[in-house]
Amino acid sequence: MKSGRIIKVSGPLVVAEGMEDANVYDVVEVSDKKLIGEIIEMRGDEASIQVYEETTGIGPGDVVTSTGFPLSVELGPGLIEQMFDGIQRPLEILRQEGGDFLQRGAEVKHLNRQKKWDFKPVAKVGDEVSEGDVLGTVQETPVVVHKIMVPIGLKGKLIDIKEGQFTVEDTVAIIENEKGKRELNMIQRWPVRQGRRYKKKIDPKTPLVTGQRVIDTFFPITKGGTAAIPGPFGSGKTVVQHQLAKWADAQIVVYVGCGERGNEMTDVLMEFPELIDAHTGESIMKRTVLIANTSNMPVAAREASIYTGITISEYYRDMGYSVAMMADSTSRWAEALREMSGRLEEMPGDEGYPAYLASRVADFYERAGRVICLGSDEREGALSVIGAVSPPGGDISEPVTQSTLRIVKIFWKLDYDLSYRRHFPAINWMDSYSLYQDKMDKYFDENVNEDFSKNRKRAMGLLQEETSLQEIVRLVGRDSLSDQDQLKLEVTKSIREDFLQQNAFHDIDTYCSTQKQFKMLETILEFYDEALAALDKGAYISEIEDLPVREKISRMKVITEDNLDEFENLKEEVRNDLRKLVEGGGTINA
């Protein structure tokens, strides 16, 4: 293909002329340094290119050559446990080859070419196979079986299939169709800006259990669901994302970090391998792909990283897995869009973001969902996407938050006030919502306890009443409230502190099963019912507030998962203590 010449360099944006053979979204090599870029606009023979690497030292006259291919990722064994940059270069290799600074234009391979994988055939010679059919499997890590699938768009008769040790480039199968023979290895390429196809989308049905009480019980997410976590700096977005990466019951986790703080991704790098997945007993890295943009990487690479992440996620979804992708934070991606748009001198929309911001955000979240995958076995896959948003000053009326909220089904709103009071996770229970609530109520009622949603609604109702009661207290003081209302405030305080607050850094409290979540809330509500009955029979509110069992309720968070029977004793104690307060103890109707 004919090369063009640079006529202008503006930060990460390069304009080249003589590019009439190239197309929008083609990947290009810029200058003899072979920097990687992508054409984002064509005007006549002039191409505007966003460059994914530092452009210092590049100038007018330098050559630009189109590869003729769109920005793509390599999909195949070896993705899991890897840490990539925004355009899927393994960080480890970039570091080794380029010292601590990422080498520019380094022609690194995305997937390891040396490693041999044990390929076990599933399909047989003579089978008619088509897109998505599983040809064979590779044990990628102790917990992930990688399915080698017929690439999208291909079908034919299987005329050869191998068994044994192969690298990703070795031929493992040969398919024949009217166009001839096609040798297949274990690598598929896919353009990142295009969603991978599936048979059809189906409604999410099961929760993605996160082990975080305020999420699972109050604002649940589904396998295949979409959630946004907007919140100001320091309100706990990253901690929530980490908690999901560590604890959510997804089979595969893809974590895209867009580096709000310099050392944030380094923390992930150090911490994740140490963490043991409670579901498998292995390091969580054995099911995780990390994509990292440190703050010193060019903005354009951040823009690409979201797409690299979601394409890898879709690929594992296509194998029939439940995948969860976290993006922290999508605001950094939107800012990259804004910067490129500004340099292209496009007409700015709201707050300088391009007019197409909302549709880009929508297109991205549309790629989530629960689907019937391609392939004749009708397997089901799910991709949940959870995006953090960092609105400047925490003002959620800004364009990125607004366009995100228009498309996602779950809103976990992080509050500065709550985080300031060290109420973590600082998810505001009045403003947050989950549009999957009804469906998840049904699921939890059937699978955890028939009273699950009843209790949740009751607790939520009490918290709503709390707001107006607190207003009264502010105006005329607590003593003006009836004993019943004072009790209500005691109980809502308990719901907030003993249930909703959850310490991500506490060994036991960091994860809470839905069983335990149910029992914790049930205990608080049991206390409420017994206390109401005691008040009715003449007990004093001050006596109720001083009961030692209150202290025990505040410590129920640390009851371990293998010791949930403890809750029966605790409830027994609640009943006994409260009944003792009234004359002739134990006469309150049960």
From residue 206, give the alpha-carbon distance in Å to each of 1, 7, 134.
Answer: 50, 54, 25
Nearest residue (CB) to ligand ADP, 196 versus 213: 213
Nearest residue (CB) to Mg ion, 58 versus 414: 414
Q: Which of residues 185-244 bind Mg ion (CB under 5 A)?
A: 237-238
Give which of Mg ion, ligand ADP, none residue 424 binds (C-beta under 5 to 8 Å, depending on kind). Answer: ligand ADP
Output the residue with the shortest Cβ distance to Mg ion. Answer: 238
Residues that bind ligand ADP (CB under 6 A): 231, 233-239, 424-425, 502-505
Query: Which runs of consecutive H residues, i.e. helices, occur in 285-389?
Result: 299-318, 330-343, 357-365
Please name the amino acid found at residue 168.
Answer: V
- Shortest Å distance, C-beta 267 to Mg ion: 11
Give which of ligand ADP, Mg ion, none residue 503 binds (C-beta under 5 to 8 Å, depending on kind). Answer: ligand ADP
Give which of Mg ion, ligand ADP, none residue 235 binds (C-beta under 5 to 8 Å, depending on kind). Answer: ligand ADP
DSSP 209: -
Choices 8-16, 49-57, 253-261, 391-399 (CB under 5 A): range interacting with Mg ion: 253-261
Give 294's strand partners: none
Nearest residue (CB) to Mg ion, 26 versus 264: 264
Residue 281 gets the label, from left (phi > 0), alpha (psi -120 to 50) or beta, of: left
- Shortest Å distance, C-beta 404 to Mg ion: 16
Is residue 370 within a helix (H) or strand (E), and if so which, with residue range? Answer: strand 369-372
In the shown chain, the binding pattern of residues 138 to 177 toward Mg ion, with x for contact by CB under 5 A and - for none, equals: ----------------------------------------
Task: Give the Cα separation of 245 and 331 in Å (integer).
Answer: 19
Q: Which of 258, 251, 242, 315 is nearest to 287 (CA)?
A: 251
Nearest residue (CB) to ligand ADP, 343 versus 516: 516
- DSSP codes joined into one string, 532-568: HHHHHTT--HHHHHT-HHHHHHHTGGGS-GGGTTHHH
How many distinct helices (H) and strands (E) make up the chain?
16, 26
Nearest residue (CB) to Mg ion, 132 versus 394: 394
Q: Is 44 helix (H, G, I), strand (E, B) or coil?
A: coil
Dihedral sign for Cα 392, 265, 252, 114, please.
Answer: positive
Give 247's strand partners: none
- Shortest Å distance, C-beta 323 to Mg ion: 22
Give which of Mg ion, ligand ADP, none residue 401 binds (C-beta under 5 to 8 Å, depending on kind). Answer: none
Task: Give the Cα separation of 204 and 213 in Å (integer).
Answer: 20
Give which of Mg ion, ligand ADP, none residue 350 binds (C-beta under 5 to 8 Å, depending on kind). Answer: none
Task: Give the Cα separation of 7 and 144 in Å (integer).
Answer: 48
Choices 2-10, 254-262, 439-447, 463-471 (CB under 5 A): range interacting with Mg ion: 254-262
Give the CA angle between residues 179, 376, 224 to the nearest 5°: 120
Give which of Mg ion, ligand ADP, none residue 523 binds (C-beta under 5 to 8 Å, depending on kind). Answer: none
The reply to whether 260 sits near Mg ion by the rule CB under 5 A is yes
Task: Give the Cα separation of 501 and 469 in Å (integer).
Answer: 21
Give which of Mg ion, ligand ADP, none residue 25 binds (C-beta under 5 to 8 Å, depending on kind). Answer: none
- Shortest Å distance, C-beta 293 to Mg ion: 13
Q: Which of 537, 548, 530 is nearest to 491 (CA)?
A: 530
- Shortest Å distance, C-beta 504 to ligand ADP: 4
Nearest residue (CB) to ligand ADP, 204 versus 309: 309
The residue ranges of DSSP E strands in 404-502, in sequence order, are 410-411, 433-434
Nearest residue (CB) to Mg ion, 27 versus 268: 268
- Shortest Å distance, C-beta 390 to Mg ion: 7
The residues of the shown chain that bind Mg ion, judged by CB under 5 A, are 237-238, 260
